[in-house]
Amino acid sequence: MKNGNLLAAASQKFTVFITADKKLQFQQNLTDNRLSIIVLPTNQVPLVIALLAAIRKTLTTIQPGDLGELPLP
């Protein structure tokens, strides 16, 4: 599934989209986006595990349509 279709499908069932695609905001028109998007700095499992506390915190504060980027731990 390509990004545009993926985001549209995700918005039908989910409220948050977590990705490591740092170019997403530049490749997709997010103007009418209802998803909260969290962009991780990496998709490497050990580093994502180290980010779990920051991800949880972001999940409690991010609003629909927001895009939040997490830094490396």
Structural domain including 25 reads 3-69
| Residue that is written with structure tokens 């039908």 in the block | 12
pLDDT (0 to 100) of residue 27:
87
Closest CA to 59 of 8, 14, 12: 14
- What integer pLDDT is reported at residue 3 of this predicted model? 66
17 closest CA partner among 46, 1, 50: 1
Domain count, the chain: 1
Q: What was the pLDDT predicted at 33?
A: 84
Q: Would the pTM count as exceeding 0.75? A: yes
Residue 1 has pLDDT above 80, yes or no: no
Q: Is 28 left (phi over 0), alpha (psi -120 to 50) or beta?
A: beta
Per-residue pLDDT tens digits for 19-70: 999 998 888 888 888 899 999 999 999 999 999 999 999 999 999 999 999 9
Q: Is the pLDDT of residue 15 over 70?
A: yes
